[in-house]
Amino acid sequence: MLRITLNRAVSAAILIVIASIFSFILIAAFPGNVAALIAELRGGFVSQEVVDQVAEEYRLNDPLILRYFHWLGDVVQGQLGHSLRTGESVAEALAERLKPTAVLVVGGSLVTLIMGVSLGFAGALWPNGLADRLIRVFAVFNVSLPKFFLAAMLIYVFGVQLQLLPTFGFRGPASWLLPCIAVGAVPGALLSRLIRVGLEEAMAKPYVITAKAKGFARRRILFRDALPNIVPVFLTAFGMNIAFITQSALIIEPIFSWNGVGAYFVEAARFRDLPVLQSCLLMFSVLFILVNLAVDLIVMMADPLQRRAKRG
């Protein structure tokens, strides 16, 4: 167990190194003269002198390897540079914008969980009931529905037609509701189907037939005997959903005018704000690598089959 854990940790560390190289290379691959771009963005007259000065300041004349290690040292110390557009410190800007994104990810996960678990279990408890039919309808649309379309429809129905909920800005729990639903509904539909189908399959196993023969109620069999079967699958799917929901932040935050990290990233991409792009990509990559590692380890601990198979 310990050896596998260490193994996974080492792979994750290698991935983080690749992520840092990738984030760094992106800027080195910038087509054209970075120094000239920076000088231009700073405004004023762009002379060769100014460009040279900028190049000196950003160490653009150093060899690539030196620049990489220099940059890495800065990043480890928490210095992510300054935005080319506004001049503010990237680290501070990120910290400032973390809250809306955190709300979106946690809220979206809650929506996913509530929707997935309640629909999934209701579907398994009452086969062909309302919940079961809903799951089947969602199954057609779930991966096909564009997130921004879902968000636009939510805005139209709840904001424009019914005028129930605010559709603009990050202002208190009422304004959190629509974005969280927009982010969590699709993974919720996936999760519900997964739970429903997993339970159904478990209910067909021989030991469940034995339990039925003993005369236990369907509900008891479902929760006591079938439930543990879907735990590893559930955990893996839920871990994936975190990546999915975080990714949705890129699209949902701009729609609802939230000032989150996702919107920051998109804005940086629009204005070619290189230090921001670099920092955001690195931060998200490291986050995903760590989440994947955590999910892997938790699933391994939760799944006796996998634990035993890997030891042997």
Binding site for other proteins (CB under 8 A): 11, 14-15, 18-19, 22-23, 26-27, 29-31, 139-141, 143-149, 152-153, 155-156, 160, 187, 190-191, 193-194, 197-198, 200-201, 233, 236-237, 240-241, 243-244, 246-247, 250-251, 254-255, 265-266, 268-270, 272-274, 277-278, 280-281, 284-285, 288-289, 292
Report the nearest approach of other proteins to the CB of residue 281 (Å).
4
Report the nearest approach of other proteins to the CB of residue 68 (Å).
16
Structure tokens at 269: 């991409």
Report the nearest approach of other proteins to the CB of residue 310 (Å).
18
Per the CB < 8 A criterion, the answer to whether 81 and 214 are in contact is no
Per the CB < 8 A criterion, the answer to whether 275 and 80 are in contact is yes
Q: Which is nearer to other proteins, 216 or 269 (CB)?
A: 269
Q: Which is nearer to other proteins, 107 or 187 (CB)?
A: 187
Q: Can you tell me the distance from the alpha carbon of 127 to that of 222, in angstroms, rounded to the nearest whole number?
A: 12
Report the nearest approach of other proteins to the CB of residue 150 (Å).
8
Q: What are residue 89's phi and psi, to 5 degrees?
A: -70, 130
Q: Which is nearer to other proteins, 15 or 72 (CB)?
A: 15
Best CA proximity match to 257, nearest among 245, 272, 267, 247: 267
Structure tokens at 185: 């509904």
Q: Which is nearer to other proteins, 53 or 310 (CB)?
A: 310
Q: Which is nearer to other proteins, 51 or 155 (CB)?
A: 155
Report the nearest approach of other proteins to the CB of residue 145 (Å).
6
Within 8 A by CB and 6+ apart from 242, the residues are 105, 109, 291, 295
Q: Which is nearer to other proteins, 31 or 87 (CB)?
A: 31
Q: Can you tell me the distance from the alpha carbon of 81 to that of 87, in angstroms, rounded to the nearest whole number?
A: 9
Q: Can you tell me the distance from the alpha carbon of 311 to that of 145, in angstroms, rounded to the nearest whole number?
A: 41
